[in-house]
Amino acid sequence: MSNEQDDNAGKYREIAVLSIVPGIVGLLILSSWALAHWEIGPRWLNAGLALLATLFGGYLRFVAGFKDIFKRKITVNVFVTVALIATIAIGEFRPAALIVFIMAVAGALESYTLDKTRRSIRALLDFTPKMATVRRGEQEVAVPASEVRIGDVVVVRPGGRIPVDGVVVDGHSCVNQAPITGESIPVEKFKGGEVFGGTLNEAGRLEIQTTKVGKDTTLAKIVHLVEQAQGTKAPIQNLADRFTVWFLPTVLAIAFVAFWTSGDIKVAVSVLLVACPCAFAIATPTAVTAGISNMARRAVLIKGGVFLELAKKMDVLLVDKTGTFTFGKPKVVDVVAFDGISGEEVLRLAAIAEKYSEHPLARSIMTRAKECDITVPDPHEFNIEVGMGVTARLDGKKILVGKNEFLRNKGVPVAEHIENAVSGQTEQGRTTILVANDRKPVGLIAIADEIRHETPRAIASLKAMGIENITMLTGDNHKVARAVSEEIGVDDFQAELLPKQKLQYVEKLQKQGLVVGMIGDGINDAPALALADVGIAMGAAGTDVAVETADVTLMNDDLSRVVNFMDMSRKVMLRIKLNIFFSIMYNIVGFILAGFGMLTPVLAVIFQEAGCITVVFSSTLLLWSKTGSRLKNEDSGSLSVAPMAIDNVARENASQCA
């Protein structure tokens, strides 16, 4: 069976659990009640329909209950099994069926919110092209990527994805390998440079000698790490089950005392029924569903209530830098002019030289020039020196844009104060290029990955909530990592990490007994997201595999939504405890009434159902609960940042264009 057929079969099974089972049970109960009410047919017929509803709808509960008994575990399933068997034993089939119906609906709800499977990990391999262009002698032949062998020379043109791991044997280009390594700026590749399958060739033509194919590629190994990490993530015990451990023996003892004092088995069964943990069973899923629905309206998708509970217990939060704290795109962040020349003129000269270049840094310069409304004429000459810089000529004057060494090699003197300015930018984790006009340095342009405007405020809010241990993970170098961490207020960082090293860092913290949260957006984050106790993906810009692997998805890429999620996790856990308190109070009153013979089995079911209704109403209040009170202008969400962000950008643009 194909992967698509497997996915479809899984969807059909889910529909069956969510809709068909509760529907059939409800129909059987209604039929049984109608036959009894209008006295249609023999009594055994309506009783048989109720019994069939009980056995059909409660089958999985019975199986789970007996399994837990054999494992010597006292859970909600054990309690339900005992209550149902006792109810059936005295011939109260319809009350038993009503219990099963309530459990079936609650179970369907729980399976949807807690057990929705993720089936898109295989789609990660779609980043590798299905076809590859291989050089055979003097010809270039298109072949299926699966047929490429080690040693083959693969040709990748601009805009194409690289199909194999290998080494560049000819050509020069910039390769965006952020999904694999997490590097924020595309990396220049020359002869001898290593490339990874699934990365994007942005500029020039590359010829790559294949070193790894199939399951041995870096991308395939990341897939394996994701699957392995998901398989090792331990489940957490349901909160209701922890209460049931002591609650069931207590109820059984009360039921025995009621039978011993009254001599009526129905009194004992009524005690069991009024204490049936229906409210316990839905205390968690109803609160979870309300919390998940509330977050969904705020563009935060949560894949199960277990992650709300784990978020409440989180000890350390790991955050990927590129695409999470930052936008993952190079941007001009500073223009420094020398010897009285304006910053606008420096930017104009750089834009003239870079106008025909396809390099990512050149595009960032052109973008800044456009933002500053600078008219950029066509250069009369244009030449690229790979890995060094560009040369252009306009009105008889030569414009040079590139590294220090590039300018020196062209006979341009680079004074000490200019070198100090470059060093200062480098210490801030920025990529710096010098601009010279007519053999005279006129300024420098600093380029870096732009930090999201809401990031510092979100970090401060998370710390205010008690999450002091926030660590930034990145594939960038230490200087870039240090500069970003200082600017956003993160106290710790780990730099130059590959996907496996991020995974190992999560494992290290978990072995210390810590509950680990992880925020990321790229393929390189997927293994760590899968293994972390709570994986959070930046959804709008994040890759599909990061979204599917993670437990929580921020659909609008607003990091402040993590604060909303953490606040909601605390409210949901408090609501679950409140729900359990309500159910216990109903049980206490029910015990008293049933113990004195004041409740028949049917009235006992109705009474305990009243507890369920109270729990549902309590949970429903979460739908309108506000979150993120520690953030200003919370109700407007990410839009509240916009006026300030736009104002900041305007001021920044004005200062750099002046």
**Catalytic machinery residues:** 320
**Alpha-carbon distance 361 to 329, whole Å?**
10
101 and 22 Cβ atoms separated by less than 8 Å: yes
Longest CA–CA span in the chain (Å) reads: 112
Task: Enumerate residues 6+ apart whose C-beta is below 8 A from 326.
Answer: 184, 449, 450, 451, 452, 455, 484
**Alpha-carbon distance 296 to 553, whole Å?**
10
Q: How far is CA 150 from the centre of its chain?
A: 35
Structure token digits, residue 177: 């390998």
Residues in the chain: 658
- Please name which of 58, 59, 48 lies closest in space to residue 93, comparing C-alpha atoms: 48
Strands of the sheet containing 397-402, edge to edge, are 326-337, 441-451, 431-437, 397-402, 389-394, 381-385
Strands of the sheet containing 187-189, edge to edge, are 187-189, 173-176, 200-201
Structure token digits, residue 307: 């992650």
441 and 345 Cβ atoms separated by less than 8 Å: no
Residue type for position 630? R
Query: Which DSSP symbol is given to 125?
Result: G
Residue type for position 274? V
Q: How far is CA 624 from CA 389, 554, 561, in A?
A: 57, 19, 16
601 and 270 Cβ atoms separated by less than 8 Å: yes
What ranges make up the beta strands (E) of 186-233? 187-189, 194-195, 200-201, 206-212
